[in-house]
Amino acid sequence: MDSGRYSQRGVSAQKEDVHKAVAKLDKGLFPAAFCKIYPDYWGGDDAWCNLMHADGAGTKSILAYMYWKETGDMSVWEGIAIDSIVMNIDDMLCVGATGPFTYSSTIGRNKNLIPGEVIGALINGTQSYFDRLKQYGIDVRLMGGETADVGDVVRTVIVDGTMACRMRRDKLVTTDNMQPGDVVVSFASYGQATYEDAYNSGMGSNGLTSARHEMLKHDYARIYPESVDPNLPKAVVYNGKFALTDPTETRLDVGKMLLSPTRTYAPLVLRMLNEHFDKIHGIIHCSGGGQSKCIHYLPSNLKVVKNNLLPIPPLFKMIQESAGTGWKEMYQVFNMGQRLEVFTDKDTAASLIALAASFNIQAQVSGYVEQAAQKEVEIISPHGSFSYFS
C-alpha cells in the first residue's frame, strides 16, 4: 500500500481537510490540551470547566457486519459498542477527566441489513461495558441517544457516541508543562490486561479501512458489495490473501484480530492521576495519526524522539507484510502496538511502568523530549528513521 492507494479509498491519516476546516474555530481554554476545554457554562464556576467529546468505531463496524454474517457471532457487536465508548473516554482521560461522565449513543443503520437484534446487542453492550467500568471507579451514565434508519446514507451501520463531563480546572492535564528532558512512556495496546477477557491484538479503531482492504481477499467485494463504496477503483478493494476465519499465530483468527475491542486505559490512568498527577506533563492517545499523533499537541520548538518503541505485535506485522506498506506510513496510520503515551520525568516513569505491570500492561520508556527549531516527531526504529512535522 502506498499513500496514493490510501487516498483513493477516501481516507486520510492526518485529516488535513478537517484541520483546515476548524482552523479558525475557538480552541477553548487550553489550546495545547488533547481535548477542547470550555468554561463552566452550566455551573458558572471559574474553578471548573466543561468537556464534550464525540468519536466512534469508524469503519470497524463494517468488519463486524461481515464477521457476523460469516459466523453468526453476535459478540462482535458488543465489541463495536466498546470501540465507540473507548475512543471517547480515552481521549478525555488525556486531559485528566475521570468522570462522572454522561454518554449519548448515535447509531445509523441500513434497516434492510441490520436487524433489531444487532441494535439490541449494541445498546445492551454499551450498558454492560459501563457496568464493567464502574468496578474500576469509572462512572459513566447512558443518557439515551439516537438510532436512525438511514439506508440511503449508510450502507451497513455506523456507531458513534458523545461523552461529556464537568471537572475542576486544577485537575486538568495539558502539554503546557512539557519540557526538554522529559521522557515518553509508551503503554502497550496488545496482550491481555487484567480487566480484559481475552487477548487483544492492539488494533484499536483507527486504520481499519486500510487494514480491511489490504488483508482480506477480493472475494469479499462480491460476497458483501454493501461493504464497499461502489465508486472505489477495483485495484484498491480487498487486495489481501486472508479469509476472516483464517487462523493466526495468536489464539484469534484474522477477523477477531482486526475486531479486538479497543483497549481502554481508564483503570490505569485513574491510578496514575491519583498517585502522580503533579508529575504528568502530557498524555497522548495515539489514535488517528499513530505514533506521529503527539505533534499536534507539542508546545512550540519541541521535538519528540522515539528511539525505543515496544516490539511490534503480530497484527501490524501481518498488515505491513500483506500491504507492502512503507514503515513511515505504518507508524503514521497505526498505533503499532502502543496507543497511550505519557510525558513525565525519568523517576516518575519507573513508577508508571510498575503501575502498568500491575494491570499486566507492558510499558517502557520509548523516547524523550528535546529543544528544536520547530515541532517534530522522529521515530528511530529497526525499520528506519522517520521524521514528521506539523
Parallel, antiparallel, or unpaired for β 363-371 and 302-306? antiparallel
CA distances from 108 to 56, 234, 252, 368 (A): 12, 27, 29, 42
Q: How far is CA 329 from CA 2, 317, 353, in A?
A: 8, 13, 28
**CA 5 to CA 1: how far, in whole Å?**
6
pLDDT value of residue 9 = 61
Do you know the residue count of the chain?
390
128 burial type by CB count under 10 A (0-12 exposed, 13-18 middle, 19+ buried): middle
Higher pLDDT, 129 or 35: 129
pLDDT tens-digit map of 276-324 = 999 999 999 999 899 999 999 999 899 999 999 999 999 999 999 998 9
Q: CA torsion 339→344→346→352, rounded to 10°?
A: -50
- Which pTM was predicted? 0.94
- Cα–Cα dist 172/33, whole Å: 9
* Residues 30-83 pLDDT 10s: 888 899 999 999 889 999 999 999 999 999 999 999 999 999 999 999 999 999
- The residues pairing with 158 across neighbouring beta strands, listed in sequence order, are 108
pLDDT reported for residue 95: 97
pLDDT-derived band at 7 (thresholds 50, 70, 90) equals low
Predicted local distance difference test score (pLDDT) of residue 323:
86
Alpha carbon distance 178, 297 (integer Å): 10
Q: Is 3 a residue whose pLDDT tops 60?
A: no
Q: Averaged over 130-140, what is the pLDDT?
A: 97
Q: Which of 265, 271, 307, 281 is nearest to 34 (CA)?
A: 281
pLDDT band with cut points at 50, 70 and 90 for residue 1: very low
Q: What is the C-alpha separation between 338 and 188, in angstroms, rounded?
A: 4
Over residues 347-354, the mean pLDDT reads 98
Sequence-separated (6 or more) residues with CB below 8 Å from residue 381: 309, 327, 331
Output phi, psi for 295, to 5 deg: -60, -25
Mean pLDDT to the nearest integer, 149-171: 97
Cβ count within 10 A of residue 377: 25
Dihedral over Cα of 227, 103, 172, 43: its sign: positive
CATH superfamily to which 3-389 belongs: PurM-like C-terminal domain (3.90.650.10)
What percentage of the chain carries pLDDT values higher than 90? 88
- Whether pLDDT at 5 is above 60: no
Residue 193, pLDDT score? 98
Give me the phi and psi of 266, to 5 degrees please: -55, -50
Q: What is the pLDDT of residues 360-374, one digit of tens each?
A: 999 999 999 999 999
- Listed residue (206, 162, 225) closest to 12, CA to CA: 206
Asked if 57 and 83 count as a contact pair (C-beta separation under 8 A), the reply is yes
pLDDT at 250 over 60: yes
Measured from the Cβ of residue 41, the count of other Cβ atoms closer than 10 Å reads 10
